[in-house]
Amino acid sequence: MKMMINSIQKSVIRIHTLSRASVCRGLSSVSGPKVCVVGGGPAGFYTAQQLLKARQDAVVDIYERLPVPFGLVRFGVAPDHPEVKNVINTFTQTAHHDRCSFHGNVNVGKDVSIEELRQAYHAVVLSYGAEGNRSMGILGENLPGVFSAKDFVGWYNGIPANKELCPDLSCETAVILGQGNVALDVARIILSPLDMLKELREMVNLPNTRADMLLSDFEDIGETLKDLPRPRKRLTELLIKALNERNDKAEKSWSFRFCRSPVEVLAASDGKRAAGIRLAVNKLEGSGESVRAVPTDKLEDVNCGIIISSIGYKSIPIDPAVPFDHRRAVVPNDTGRVQDVSGLYCSGWVKRGPTGVIATTMNDSFDTARVLLQDMDTGKLDLSIKKPGAQAIAALLQTRGVRTVSFTQWEKINAEEERRGKPHGKPREKLLDVEDMLKIAWS
Ligand code: FAD
């Protein structure tokens, strides 16, 4: 398979193949602040961790839409980066904390409103990530054969909603639009032999695979290279090394195409599926920070069997009562305090947009926890009113026929997944169906 990875503005990848059960366990007797967190991903767990550490009297409940915790650590981070997933151990410790409870299978905004959570808790922290994706806004993007990276990643990572995606990977060429980390994950996963999907580091080291960049893209790079910031310099040097050490006998290849933007998805002659992509060739104008990619009148058509648009995730509003900045696709906030709604906070991707790694999300969540603690200490949050917390929400959910999954019940799902993975030498075989998860959780 051949693969082309395209950076939209400036530059395309191209692949060629020749609690424990702590739910309501008497925590209402703790008289300190009751906080709930919406979303059981890194932002939710890091915010909870910090609050629990800083205040010995705080109780934190985490509400999660799925029966399983950990957000994109489970459903985004690539399967060949197992070490990144180790943060799950820290999150598990937090979930096991005496004053923390996990309530899975609760779709906030649908099963329970933010207003109801605000009534029940002193503070509500929105940490529900970025579950939408940006559209390219070009003709043909809804044709079969065109996928968003979000859905494609969800498919190979076992998100229940994406289990039926079935992308046809028998084609010769895949085009990935975008050149961010997610685009590289997708490229590496497509190119990797199945038995390599564990310890693999870099696409450049893939067996039987060569980097097929355009030499002209690297001409006269020497001068520019020395002034680049260190991380970008190292990346560029890695690309040049891959180019110099290319294995002409390799059956698979990948390449970056710089300075290209998608203009139109080209349909096959029967009009029924994507068969190529038309790209505008861009030129760079300006210099330094103000450099911009501007389309020329040159177009380039690339034939391919699959197109994956990896141009970014985006947060979506989950409750009409919560302010939402549709242009930036974030909850508008000041260092984590949601604008104009007292007692409402946010952390992670829904706070600052879908960029940055888990460490960035951690720092950002600690910042939110810090301002929330400040508001408790300064009296900005009124802690004198007793709040019912999880008990009130559990009663509401019960009347609505919503049954929750506790952390102990998630651990049953976890044990079953690990048991199913063992005979295949895999860390786990993920359950793909929410009904199956629930059956095991509640068994
Ligand atoms: P999420 O992880 O998305 O968590 C949000 C949680 O909220 C989810 O569990 C979701 O189910 C839940 N939720 C959503 N809506 C609701 C609702 N209505 N009610 C209740 N719960 C809800 N970082 C690294 O450091 N290393 C990597 O290798 C890496 N690889 C990545 C690969 C991909 C494909 C992606 C997309 C990201 C990757 N990241 C990586 C970045 C990292 O995953 C993010 O920084 C981090 O997950 C953001 O955390 P979050 O909690 O804001 O969002």
Whether residue 38 has its Cβ less than 6 Å from ligand 1: yes
- Tell me, in angstroms, the distance from the centre of ligand 1 to residue 74's CA: 8
Average pLDDT, the chain: 89
The average pLDDT across 64-75 equals 97
Ligand 1 centroid vs 411 CA: distance in angstroms?
Answer: 20
Whether the predicted pLDDT of 415 surpasses 70: yes
Confidence of residue 393 (pLDDT cuts 50, 70, 90): very high
What number does the ligand 1 atom closest to the CA of 73 have? Answer: 43
At residue 257, does pLDDT exceed 60? yes
Question: What Rg, from alpha-carbon coordinates, does the chain have?
Answer: 24
Residue nearest to atom 41 of ligand 1 (CA): 357
In one-letter notation, the amino acid at residue 272 is K
Instruction: Provide the pLDDT for residue 6.
Output: 62
Tokens at 209, concatenated: 């695979």
Check residue 29 and report its DSSP letter.
G
111 lines ligand 1 (CB under 6 A): no
CA of 49 to the centre of ligand 1 (A): 17
CB-ligand 1 contact for 114 (6 Å cutoff): no
| Mean pLDDT lowest among 142-156, 171-185, 394-408 | 171-185
Ligand 1: centre distance to CA 129 (Å):
6
Query: Strands (DSSP E) along 163-259, which ranges?
Result: 173-177, 209-211, 252-257
126, 32 Cβ separation under 8 angstroms: no
Q: Which helix (H) or strand (E) holds 268?
A: none
> Residue 328: CA atoms inside 13 Å, Cβ hemisphere, count?
13
Q: Does the CB atom of residue 43 touch ligand 1 within 6 A?
A: yes
**Ligand 1 within 6 A of 108 CB?**
yes
Closest C-alpha to 350, from 310, 392, 322, 386: 322
pLDDT tens for residues 428-442? Answer: 999 999 999 999 999
The residue to mutate among 80, 107, 110, 128, having the most atoms of ligand 1 within 8 angstroms of its beta carbon, is 128
